[in-house]
Every structure is written in structure tokens, then in C-alpha cells.
Amino acid sequence: MKYLSILNKTQYKAVTTIDRPTMVIAGAGSGKTRVLIYRLIHLIKSGVKSRNILALTFTKKSANEMKYRLSSLIDKNELDQIYIGTFHSIFAKLLRKNSDLIGYKKNYIIYDRYDSEKIIKKIIKNLNLDKKIYRSKYLLDKISMIKNHYFNERNLYITNIYANYKKYCYQNGIMDFDDILLYTNILFNKNPEILKKYQEYFKYILIDEYQDTNYSQYRIIKLLSLKHNNIFVVGDDSQSIYSFRGANINNILNFKKDYKNAVIIRLEQNYRSTKYIVDVSNQIISLNKRKIDKKLWTNNKIGKKIKLYKAFSSFEESDFVANTIDQLKKKKKLKYSDFGVLYRTNAQSRSLEESFIKKKIPYNIYGSISFYKRKEIKDLIAYFRLIVNINDEESLIRIINYPKRGIGEVTLKKIFFLSKQNDKRIFEILKNINNYKSIINRDQKILDNISNFCNKILFFNKRLDEDAFILSKEISESFGLLEEIKKDKIKQGIDNVEEFLNSISTFVEDKKKIKNEEISLNAYLESLYLDLDLDYKFNNLTKESVSLMTIHLSKGLEFPIIFIIGLEEKIFPSILSISSQLEIEEERRLFYVALTRAKEDIFLTFSKNRYKWGKIVPTICSRFVKEIDKKYIKYIKNDLNHKKFDDTSLLGSYTNNLKEGMIVYSNSFGRGKIIKIEGQIITVYFNNIGEKKILNTKLKIIY
């Protein structure tokens, strides 16, 4: 069989071991997908009927890729009979065929999270609960945990909301994604004849990314495999990073206990990365106690040491990343798509985006949206724009009822009508809302809310010459925006707002160092939109771009060169994940995932200082960096006379052609920014010592 001849010894064993429980521990870059594909082919070649094979994945993309690769290797009729799909897609079809047994009609509909939240909001209203305390997103997360982990919630209010939600869904023929797995378990447990039927259908079960399964998925798989015991799972405990979604690492760790006579096969040869990268990854993950022993190895070249760069600030860190990519691309004739920049949280993309825009480097925020397009940021910007210009009606319409002021669509239509009829701006109508009581026909409380909103807008409008950071923070607090975001209990939104306010603080501090520069809110918005316009124009010129993403989203991807930024305590590991050894081990697995995305080169960066809510705060280098043996690290000094990447051509020559705003380098004081030029005397703000006057002949231009 030709397809078997291209496998290595352990891959061959994994593909050909059938008729017993088998777990393949597939290390990063070890050819996991090839094993899954060839095992499916081998089962068919060995006489197993296609219709008796069930192959489960976690994403539609993975399922489609599996089908695509099989399409050129087996007959179409054979392929069409294999059950290949995600947990939800396969079991949704199964439930529809047996819906009467769980009390549902065949035409039930599946609601996504957005639709489910609307139901929760309706229930909160019907139960007369305070929607400021009972937030729909938080409650839906709690309900999801109850369904997937089968535990009893002690909070009576949450229990009551769940009971009402369950009743509403049942009465209206609705299921959410969690219900698909929940009702599949109920179907099998309450109907032994149905379970027996599907056990005969699915005699051979294959599961990809087994480390990501939750308890509900685990129970379904256990029930289906009880009779024939032909279960084949592929996964890597070292890449178990989704506990926040309900994934349970114990499922993979306890496989041998769950299935008697199970075979454990380790794919340890890495085909992706250099020897240095493989060795560092092994060293890091070896520090975890809860793991399945394995040691990756590779026949690839030894490669380069891991580069470590300490920046003075997050902005310098981002500049370093952008400049390094620009230099390496030119020097080594690389493509922008050869670079991946990874970070722990989405909020970290903001300073990166600004540095990339400045250097005209096209980028793509993978699996997310650009920082300034995120809802909470657009809401804040809309407030700022309206305060600067009370006639900005697009911004006004966006935030008139955020946070909620009791202004619905009907009221808005009446306001629009009054604006048109009286030939007045919308804000003018709102400002004098009490003059239109009879037409608006709303409670006085709602009218007072509108009046208060307008008075605050006008109050801040009179203060536009003030410090943009102080004013923006006061606006955020005065209108209850920070409180509203914190109520949602979604840390990402809070982080994004903090990072946005940090950007305003940085703008103000930079402008203060330059004579006669405006530090107003209007000046900040002007600067921001000029940058965003440049971003739009440049990123739409080319599809070739650097990928920016969280480490969670990078799983399954690979790049020749990887940057892992923000390696500081309380960022990575996250401040939310340092209270227990289990949490630290998952953060370490996340670092392992980041390292193993790289094929050739890795740059680790951290910042000596970082802005927190507009204030500069000193940081501590991440414990994960300190866990790397020094023999694997090349330290890049924050001192540009040091030969970075063995390329002495990165710096310009000493020159008189200096301009305000340029980033320059001095042998004595390091890196800084020109803030004033007076003949041959240049005033520079240096990163490490602050403001200093220096002769122009002592400076080199960086950019």
C-alpha cells in the first residue's frame, strides 16, 4: 500500500492500529492531519464500511479540509458515506431524526448566541430583575457551564432564569448550541435502543483535538464507543488551552483509565521547526506536572537562538517589532505573510497597529477586528466626536441610548420628525425636549434623562481646550461608560478601553514635549483619524500582510518568523490566571503553543514600563522568559550601536538633515525623539534619561 510507505514508524503504527482504543499524542508539527487522513483510508482499505465511520472535528474548516484531502485519495461514493463533521453538525442531524423522543418537533430551530441573549433579556424583564445586575452575557455563560458540566447552580436567581430559559426554548421549538450536546446525551441515556442503533452505525470513531473536548462531548463519545471500543483520538495535552470554553484536560490525561487495553502512541518528530525552537519548547513544557510524557525532536537544522528584546515602553516595543519586520523583509527578501505577531489579549494590538501604520506595513488582525473598530472603542469615539461637534448626528444617533436612557425606535422617529419639521438639528430638539412633551409622549423621567445627556455634552463642549486625557477619562466616567462596560463582566472590553485611554495619555505626553503643540481632544481625534485613513488606504492596496493575533487564535497556524510580545507578569501569564498551579500550567501551555508556531525564528519582547489607565507603571518580566535556559537566548540590547541581527547597516549616518519628530540615536544616551531644533543645538527626549540638549553632529537618524 503506497500511502503507508511515506509514513514514519510511529505514524505507521497510529494509522494501522485498529480494533482497540487508541490515543495518539501528536506533538506540534508532527503530521497529525496526515495520520487522521491515512487512517481513514486504511480503515476502508481494510474492509471497514464507510458508513460505519464517524470522524469528529471542532471546526467546520477542519472537517472541510479533511474531506478535501480525502477527495483525491478515495472514491467519491466512499467519501460521501463517511460521517465527517463537527460535534454540533453531526449530532444536530441525529437529533432531528429522533426529535420526537426528546419532545421536539422536527422543525426546531437552532439559535446562535446573539439570539439566545435576546431571550435572556426578555426573561430578566419578565421577572422584574435589575438588568444592571443580571447581565445577559454573564448569565448565558453560566447556563452554558451548567449544561456542559452537569452541575447544580446554587444561586437561586440563576437557577430560576435557567428554568425560564429552558421552558421558553422548549415551548418555542428552539435549541442553542449547548442544547445539541445536552439533548444528545439525554436521547442516548433515556433510549437504550437508539443508543444501540448508533453504536452499530458508528463502529469506528475518530476524534481530532481530543484535548479540547468538554464533559458533555466526553459523555457522548463514551456512550457511542461502549460496544465496539474502536475509538481513535488524536490530541496533545501540551496544547490544551481552552478551559475558559469548558475544555477539560482530564479527558486526554485519563484516556487510559477510561478505556481498558488502550494503546498510547506518541508522534514526537517535529517537521516544522528548527532544533533550537524544538529544544526550547520541550524545556518550557517539561516544567508542567500534569502532562503526558513526551519529547519532541527534529532532523531540521539547528537554526538560530531565540531573540529577547527589552523595551522601555509598549510603544517602543511595537516600534521594534515594526522596524525589525521592515528590515528583515528587505534584507532577506521575505514576504509580509512570513511574519506572525502573537499576543495574550486583543487589547495589545493597538500600539502595534499604530507602529505598523507609521511604517506603512500592511497587517491583518486575524480572527478579530481592528482595535478602533471594536464596539466599545467606537462608542467612546462617538462620545468624543459629539462633544467636539454637537452637530455630528451619526455619532449622536449611535450613543443617544447608550447607556440605556429609555429612548427606543418610536421615540427616535418622533425626534427625527421634529427635526425635519422644524428645520432644526437633532441635538437642538433634544436640548429643548420638554418643549415637545405632547408629541414625544414619554414619562418625565425619560425626558429628564435626555435633558441631562444634552447638558453634559454642552458642559464638556465648553472645556475642549483642556488636556485630552483628563477630559476623556472624565467623559468616560460621567456618562457611565466605564461602569457599563465593567457590568458586562467581559475583561476584553475593559482592557480595550484602558488601552484606548492609554493611547490618549501617550498622545498628550508626547505633545507636551513639543512647543506650541495642542493637547486637546479635537487634536487627538484629528491625529487618530489621519492615522486611520492612512491605515485604510495602505491596507487596501495589498493582500500581502503581517498577521496579528492572540495566541489562542494562532493554534494550528505556522509562520517562518514569530514575535511574541508583552511577556510580562500579569499580562502573560494573565492576571486572571495566576491564582493556582492549574491556571499557571495552562498559561505555560499557551506559551508552548506560541513557541511552536515558529518555523525558523522567534523574537520575544517585553517592556520595562507600561501604561495602566494613563499612568506609567513598572513591569516584571514574565516567569516564562526566565524559565528558558540562557544558552538558547540571544539578548538584543536596547542600545542601537549593538549589532542587531548582525546587520550594521540598520542605522543611518551622522547628519545635519534633522527634523522635529524624528527618532534618533546617540552613543551616549541611546534612543530618543527630537522635540526642538535651535541651530546646531537639538533638544531630544531620550527614552532612558528624559530631555537633553545635544549637538546635531552627535545624532544618527533611525527614522
Active site residue 32: yes
Interior CA angle at 284 toward 281 and 289, to 5°? 125
Per annotation, catalytic residue among 39, 305, 597, 608: 597
C-alpha dist (Å) from residue 654 to 581, 642, 658: 52, 16, 10
Cite the annotated binding site for ATP by residue number: 26-33
Strand 22-26 to strand 263-267: parallel, antiparallel, or no bridges (unpaired)? Answer: parallel
Active site residue 86: no
CA separation for the pair 598, 624 (Å, rounded): 17
- CB 563 within 8 Å of CB 321: yes
Active site residue 239: yes
CA separation for the pair 547, 312 (Å, rounded): 24
**How big is the chain, counted in residues?**
703
Per annotation, catalytic residue among 32, 310, 623, 671: 32
Active site residue 335: no
C-alpha dist (Å) from residue 146 to 151, 154, 222, 636: 6, 11, 20, 49
326: CB partners within 8 A, 6+ apart? 359, 361
Cite the annotated binding site by residue number: 26-33
Closest to 361 measured CA to CA, from 313, 331, 316, 329: 329
The C-alpha cell of 168 is what? 421558553
Is the Cα dihedral 101, 105, 111, 115 positive or negative? negative
Per annotation, catalytic residue among 176, 178, 208, 535: 208
Per annotation, catalytic residue among 10, 57, 239, 348: 239
Q: At what angle do helices 275-285 and 581-595 cross, to 10 degrees?
A: 170
Per annotation, catalytic residue among 33, 81, 159, 492: 33
The C-alpha cell of 550 is what? 492572540
CA separation for the pair 411, 152 (Å, rounded): 43
Q: Output 89-97 pairs: Cβ under 8 A, ≥24 positions apart.
A: 89/60, 89/63, 90/54, 90/56, 91/180, 91/181, 91/184, 91/220, 92/180, 94/184, 94/187, 94/198, 95/175, 95/180, 95/183, 95/184, 95/187
Active site residue 597: yes
Residue environment code for 674-694, b if the CB has 16+ CB neighbours within 10 A, otherwise e: bbeeeeeebbbbbbeeeeeeb
Q: What distance lies between CA 454 and its chain's CA centroid?
A: 37
Catalytic residue numbers read 32-33, 208-209, 239, 597
